[in-house]
Amino acid sequence: MGLGRKMLTGGAVVLCTGLAYVVWDIAKKRKSHTHTYRSLLDQYISFRVFSIVGRHMRRKLGHDCENVSAVQEEVLLQRLREHADTEYGRKYRFADVTSREDYRSLHPLTRYEHYREYVDRMIEGEEMVLTAFKPIVFGTTSGTSGKYSIIPMGQKQRVNFFLQGVTVALSCMLEGFPESDNLQKDLKIFHMPHFRESAAGIPIGPNSSSPANSQAMLNLYSTPKPGFDIMSEREALYVHLLFALKDRNLGIIEANFSFRVHTALVMMEACWQQLVTDIEKGCVDPNLDIQDGTRAELDKLMKPDPGRAQELREEFQKGFEEIVKRVWPFLGLILATDTGSFDLYRQKLKSHYCKGVPMYSPIYGATEGLVGVNIWPNDEERHYVLCPRSMVYEVIPVDRSDEDQPDTLWLEQAQLGGVYELVITNAGGLYRYRFGDVVKVVGFYHKCPVIQFMYRQGQMLNVRGEKTSEDMFYQALKSAKTSWADADLHVVDYCCAESVLVEEGQANPLPHYVVFLELQNGVKGQERQYAQQLEDCLRKTAYMYDRCRTQGSIGPLVVHVMPEGCFSEYRQHLLSNTMAGSNQLKVPRVMRRKTDVDFMMDRLKE
C-alpha cells in the first residue's frame, strides 16, 4: 500500500509539473485575442504534436534520401502488390514484377488518356478496376493549362501527404522562423469548393487544401467557422480580411499560391474603408451576398472596436507600401507556393505590400500527390527535395520529351544541372505517368536530387519548332521590367498566345507571339515600344527563338496593353469555364483555348 501511495503521489507530482509547464509555456507566447480557451489549447497541442511528428519525419526523409534506390524499389513493389488483383494490375502483370527494371520493361510510359476509361468506370461505381481501394475523392486538375484530368485519391495518400509533406514543412518552418512558434492565428485564404458526386457517392472536385478537408485545423485560423461556409469567392475573401484585420496579433498569412495572397491584399486596398467601418460598428457589410443564417452567426462574433478601427484607418491613409507589417506588426511569415509563374506575384508582394515579411514556399504538390518539400525555408531560391516514399520517380532528359516512349533514368541517376521531365508512379493508380512538369536538378540531399521547378510542358510557345518555355519568356519579361521600372511601369499580370489562335486580320502574316499585358501606369499607344523591349530581351534569353527571328520564319511579337482589372475578370472567366476551383486556380501563361484568347481580344474592344 505504501508503495502504491508513493507511485500515485509521484505520478500526481509529474502530472502537476507537466500541467504547470504547459500553463507557463502558453502564458509566455504571443496570442491572438480572438482565441477561446479551447482553440488556444487546440493550437498549442497541435503545434507540439505536429512538431514532434515533423522532426521524426525529417529524420526518416534523411534516411530515405541516403538509400534512394532501395527505398524507391521497396515503394514500387509494395504498390504493385497492393493493386495486383485489380483489372489493370492483371493486364500489366504486376504480380510478375520483382524489380524496377521488370516494371520498366512491362509497363509503357503513359499520359492521362491512357487512364480515362478506367477512371470513368470507377466514377460509375465499379471497383477493383484501377485501384484496390475505394477513393475518398476524385480530384480534378485545374485544366487552365490544358485538358483537365480526374485523379482517384485514397485515404492513405491524404495521410501520407500530411505526414511526409505538411509536418516536415511545419518542422522546417519552426526551425527557420522560431518566432512563428506562438499562439497567433493565421489568415488562411481558401474557401469551400464546389463538388459533384459520382454514382457511388464519392466527391468529384478540387483536391487542393480547402475547408472541406481541413476541418480539424479551422480553429487555428482567424476566420471563424461560419465564414468558411460562404461559397462565393468575393464574399469569402472579404470576410477573411475582415476578421484578420480585427486581430492585431495575426501571425501568418497562408494560401495555396502567392497570387491568392496578392489578390487578397489588392481587395484590402480597394475595400479598406468599408472594412474599417465594419470593425468600427461591429457588423458585416450588409451589401455582401451572404446567406442570412451565416450572416447572423458572423454578426454575433463582431463587436464594435473603434480603437482598432482608428488604428487601421490611420495606417491605410498613409498608403499601402509595407502595409502588411503596419496593420499586423507581429506578423512573421507568408506561406504560399511562389515558384514558376507565381514568382511574379512573389516579387510584387516583396516590393510593395509585404516589404520586410519573409516568404516560405513549403511544398511542391499536385493533384497527383506530394512531389517534394522545401527543407530550406530561409533560402531565397526555391528548391525542393523529391520525396522518395511519396512517388516512384523516373526522369526524361528534356531534349527527348517529344518522343512517345523515350528511355528514362531512375531518380538516383539524374545529373547535376540536368533538366528533366518528371515521370511518376503514385499511390492512386497512375503508373509511369507523364504529368507534364519540367524540373532542373540543382543539387542533392544525401543521394536524392534537389530540384527547381521550371515549367509545365503545356505552357510552351512553339510556332516554328523553337519551343520557348514559360520560364524563358518569364526571364525575358523580368529583364524588360527592369527598364520599365525606371519609368514607374509595373507588370500587374500577363499571358501569351500563339497567333494562330487570334482572329484573322493581324497585320503580321508570319506566325508570332501575342502578349497580353496588364500594366500599372501603362500608356496606350506605347505597345510597339513595349513589344520591342520585350522582343530584345526574349532574343537574348531564347536561342532558338532568336534564330527563327533572324531567319525570318517567325514575325515580331505583338503586345496588347489590357484595361485595368482585366486579369481579375479573366480569373472569373476561368472559374466559370474550367474545372478549376478558386483554391487551385492558376492563370495559364500560355493560352491554349481560343475562347480564352477571344476573351482577351474582346476586352480590347471595350
Domain residue limits, the chain: 178-201+208-357, 470-604
Half-sphere exposure of 406 (CA within 13 A, CB side): 19
DSSP 569-600: HHHHHHHHHSS--TTT----SB---HHHHHHH
Cα separation of 277 and 283, whole Å? 9
What is the β-pairing status of strands 359-360 and 333-337?
Answer: parallel
CB atoms within 10 A of CB 107: 17
pLDDT of residue 10: 57
Cα separation of 207 and 210, whole Å? 8
Q: Residue 438's closest CA among 481, 475, 462, 472? A: 472
**What is the per-residue burial (b if ≥16 Cβ within 10 Å, else e) of 500-538?**
ebbeeeeeeeebbbbbbbbbeebeeeebeebbebbbebb
For helices 566-577 and 594-605, angle between their N-to-C axes, nearest 10 degrees: 150
Q: How far is CA 446 from the centre of its chain?
A: 26
DSSP 324-380: HHHHSTT--EEEEE--GGGHHHHHHHHHTTTTT--EE--EEEETTEEEEE---TT-S
For helices 37-66 and 167-176, angle between their N-to-C axes, nearest 10 degrees: 100
Q: Residue 422's closest CA among 390, 398, 388? A: 398
Q: Helix (H, G, I), strand (E, B), or coil: what is residue 189? A: strand
CB atoms within 10 A of CB 313: 17
pLDDT of residue 485: 62
Any alpha helices (H) in 488-605, and if so which ranges?
Answer: 527-541, 543-551, 566-577, 594-605
In contact, 353 and 323? CB cutoff 8 Å: yes
Q: Residue 83's closest CA among 124, 134, 120? A: 134
| Cα radius of gyration rounded to whole Å, the chain | 26
Cα separation of 446 and 537, whole Å? 38
H-run or E-run covering 441: strand 433-445
pLDDT of residue 520: 85
556: which 3 cell numbers? 515580331
Low-confidence ranges of the chain (pLDDT < 50): 1, 505
pLDDT of residue 505: 47
What pairs with residue 497 in β-bridges? 514
